[in-house]
Structure 1
Amino acid sequence: MPWVATVARWVLGGVFLAAGALKLPDPDAAVRAVRAYRLLPEPLVAPVAFGLPVLEIAVGLALVAGVFVRTAAVVAAALLVVFLGGVGSAWARGLQIDCGCFGGGGEVAAGETAYPAEVVRDVALLAVALALARWPGSRLALGGRHAEATPSNEEGERVP
C-alpha cells in the first residue's frame, strides 16, 4: 500500500499545484471566476480569489514532497467539498460558468459548462484525499513519522 499512497499523493498534489499555479498569473481571471459563482459577498471575492491559489500550491507542495500528508489531505478534502458545493450550487441555479478550477473562469455561453465532468473529477479527488487522510504512509516522502508505512501484526505491534 505505501506505493499506492505515494502515487495518490503525487496525483492529488500535482492537481492542486497545477490548479494554483495556473491561477497565479491572472488574478483578474481568478476574481471573475470567484465572482461568477455569486456565493460570496463582494468584499470577500478578491481575498478568496487571491488566497485560494496560494493555499492550493501549499497543499500541492506538501503532498508532492510528503510532508504533513494527513493535514494536507484533510485540507484538500475540505477544499474539494467546498468546490463541489460551489459547482453543485451553480449547476442547480442554472448559472452558465466555467468553474475556474485551472485558471480562467467566469460566464460562458449556454451549453459550454462541464458540470458533470467537474463533479466526477472532484468526487474522485475527494476519495483520494480522504484515503490519504486515513492512510498517509507512503514512500519517497520527506515527512517524519508518516513517511513510511510500517507493517504490523493483528495486535497492532510493529513487525520488523
Structure 2
Amino acid sequence: MFRPSQAVLDTVGTFVRLGLAAVWLTSGAIKLADPGQTYLAVKAYEVLPDALLHPVATALPLLELALGVLALAGLLTRSVAVVSAILLVLFIVGVSQSWARGLTIDCGCFGGGGQVAAGQTQYPQEIARDLGFLVLAGWLIRRPRTRLAVDGWLRPRETEPAVRETERA
C-alpha cells in the first residue's frame, strides 16, 4: 500500500494551510471594508437579537482576519483549524436554517449579503463551498504540521525514537 512520505504530507498541509489563510483573509478584508453591508448580511439571517447584530458584524471580520494571519504564519495551526471548523459549521448551520425557513438572502460570506430576489439564492453552492473549507480545517486539525510554519520553528519535530536511542548509546 502506498503511503506518502512526511515531506509530501507536510507539503500538502502547507497548501491546505495557505488555502485556508486565503479564505479567511479575503473574507475578512471584504467584510471589514464594508461594515454596513456586513451588518445587513448578519441581520438577514434573522437569528440574533438586535443588541448582538453590531457586535457580531464587527467581530466577525476581525476574527476572520486573525484566523487568516495566524494560518498564513503557521502559528497555532491546530487551534486555528479548530476555530475555523467551528466557525464554518456555524456558517453551514446559518445558511441551512435560512434555506429551511425560506429566507431569500445572500450569505454575505465574501461580501454582499442581505435580502435577494426569489430565485437568486445559492444555498447548495454556499453549503458545498463551506464543506470544502471544512475539509481543509479538518486536515489541519488531524495533521497541523506544515512547511514554512512558525509552529515548526517554535516546536521542532522530535527525532524518531530509534534515533534517540542510538544517540544515548
**Above 0.5 in TM-score?**
yes
* Equivalence map 1:69-148=2 (5 Å): 69-144=77-152
Q: Does 1:6 find its partner at 2:14?
A: yes
Q: 1:29 aligns with which of 34, 37, 40?
A: 37
* Aligned length in residues: 156
Q: Per-residue displacement from partner, 1:49-69 (whole Å, max 9, x unpaired)?
A: 010000000001111111110
> Quick check: which has more Rg, 1 or 2?
2
* Alpha-carbon separation, structure 2, partners of 1:158 and 1:133: 27
* Cα distance in structure 1, aligned partners of 2:149 and 2:36: 35
Q: TM-score, normalised by structure 2?
A: 0.86
Unaligned runs of 5+ in 1: none
> Which amino acid in 1 is paired with 2:19?
V
How far 1:158 moved relative to its partner? 6.7
The alpha-carbon distance between structure 1 residues 107 and 151, as it changes in their structure 2 partners (threshold 3 A), is: farther
Identical-pair percentage: 49
Contact 1:151 1:159 (8 Å CA) reproduced: yes
Match of 1:38 among 39, 46, 62: 46
**Structure 2: stretches of 5+ with no match in the other structure:** 1-8, 165-169
Question: 1:16-73 CA deviation, whole Å, 9 max, x = no partner?
Answer: 1100000011111011000000010110011000100000000011111111101111
